[in-house]
Structure 1
């Protein structure tokens, strides 16, 4: 299905950043996509306009009751010059799942993907091609009705912005240090843990700051009821290799259904590696470490793709995983996924979508 969006070119294009010094999420391209929703009219007036500030009423629902959601994916340029996205249909599906939980109107998934493609096409010359870089895509929806009452908004904005990015972690694929959080809670059954909304991240900042003060890059959340089972890392899904089994938390409503997570599971199964989506107690992880069976740990997510974990700290005791280095499974997964995304590895999973 083809959609036509009006395009207003930015009369004052910015200077492109140096790909050698790119950080994550600090630079933005020349254009953005905006579409409105109004009760009785639906989603309408999709347009590409110069990147710039938004004008919102101080009483907009998003400011007071946090009715909003966001997504994240990337665009890459292959060695042959082709621009491609990685599984954007999955982002569209997850958007509507989050929308349902937050009482935000559903959006046509084909339109969603076409809007992303249209904007990326306009700003395709912003895609960096240095190893480890990409054009990060941030679609989000905010409730912008001016109303100080607790109910769903009757008006929304769907916006997409683009950001040329370097590695999410400054060390790139260098193994990270993770702190097991057993004081604060990210999500519980019936909450918004599986929704991609800002409230989940705001509630995690305190724990993350405390972990940083102790010298750790990220935190590993435990379940919110018993503080017993491992769930997810602050910005990504977690995988543990114990013996010959790779384990990740099940999608029980308290963790984000990661698109990279889904891709990792599919690749592991294809390679004949045993992978389980099951509850894993932190005590089982500790016992496996003591017995020499805790072989690898890594995180998966759009921002970092695959991030190996070299150290895990629980109750003051540090577990050094795989000698603090990158494990072979994590390395192969990164090489395969990043290779598919950038067009250097054949996509026999039919995951990439070309922007024409």
Structure 2
């Protein structure tokens, strides 16, 4: 996209704030359903080729207006981010590793050839939005404000071409647990039919096209197998057991295994799929890997894991724990995974023991997020 003669980014110094005259009543925290309640204001800014970026504006929350031929409606040219704000015991609002979210958002936008912008300018505008909406930030642990930056092609041309218009925005939603069951372990279905992402595709970017195709498999997993979510696999040859475990439709997945050994004490290994271009580089994923490596208690490996290896670990009693991790759920214990052939692989260790990986990670991460533990990952926005 040519931006000759146009501003290459919007500026936080130009931020316009239009406060609502009709503030909403906040619902009780226990009534919050993830992603359905929104705050009073939102941030928007538009780019037009030849004119550049307009002024970023915080305005009352409301509907967006777009041309019926907008490319996002026809070709899915849109991306988004997911991050959270937390209120600590000192009353201050905090963000968790926002630099990683801002960098990933910019990378996703670039992959779609949307207009370039300065991530730091966006972050400054985001902090102003959060300050304005501070009353919406829950003061109870387990609750937070989910932050959804998004960008899409608002070019109104029916043609598959580089966009000439971009709309960028941020909306906020106070939330509780992602799964209605909270931190209760869930069952997940291993999908061996549908492929989440192919090499050379968009799997490492947070674009809408990665998520829409997961709805049908998720509904099938729930209605036919009683599972909350899907774990995708990637076939290698004709043997189903050679398929690689990928990720879930909504989070990265990890497996704590005992390694085969003749010694009295078996070594343990935490395994997750490598970032090979088909896996989303999750912020929580990276945090879990860094924390557990710092413990020095077991091997932490980003490597291919096949369904056959998972089956063998289960059959030999070496499948200790399985977890999902992501911004929305943080840490989600997985009790079992089911396959279409009827196999069920259950974990040895159960949620609730203070020594389990899920319990320890949940505490360590939430202590950082809510400001109980000093960390450079916890960034105050006020």
Q: CA deviation at 1:215?
A: 0.4
Q: Is the 8 A contact 1:312 1:321 kept in 2?
A: no
Q: CA deviation at 1:2?
A: 6.2
1:173-184 equivalences in 2 (<5 Å): 173-184=183-194
Q: Does 1:262 align with 2:272?
A: no
What is the match of residue 353 of structure 1? 379
Q: CA deviation at 1:3?
A: 3.3
CA distance in 2, matches of 1:73, 1:29: 15
Q: Does 1:333 align with 2:358?
A: no
Q: Per the alignment, in what secondary structure is the counterpart of residue 13 of structure 2?
A: coil
Q: What do the CA deviations read for 1:18-68 (whole angstroms, capped 9, x no partner)?
A: 012211001000000001112234333101000001111111111011110
Larger-gyration structure (1/2): 2
Q: Is the 8 A contact 2:236 2:244 kept in 1?
A: no
Q: CA deviation at 1:324?
A: 4.8
CA distance 1:90–1:3, shift in 2 (3 Å): farther
CA distance in 2, matches of 1:180, 1:116: 37
Q: Is the 8 A contact 2:317 2:348 kept in 1?
A: no
Q: Is the 8 A contact 1:132 1:172 kept in 2?
A: no
Q: Is the 8 A contact 1:179 1:218 kept in 2?
A: yes
What is the match of residue 303 of structure 1? 328
CA distance 1:6–1:21, shift in 2 (3 Å): same
Q: CA deviation at 1:322?
A: 2.8
Q: CA deviation at 1:128?
A: 1.1
What is the match of residue 7 of structure 2? none
Q: CA deviation at 1:166?
A: 1.0
TM-score w.r.t. the length of structure 1 is 0.96
Q: Is the 8 A contact 1:174 1:326 kept in 2?
A: no
What is the match of residue 236 of structure 1? 251
Q: CA deviation at 1:309?
A: 0.4
CA distance 1:116–1:165, shift in 2 (3 Å): same
CA distance in 1, matches of 2:68, 2:350: 49
| Superposition CA RMSD, Å | 1.5
2:38 to 20, 28, 40: 28
Q: Per the alignment, in what secondary structure is the counterpart of residue 113 of structure 1?
A: helix
CA distance in 2, matches of 1:224, 1:47: 47
What is the match of residue 318 of structure 1? 344
CA distance in 2, matches of 1:261, 1:77: 22
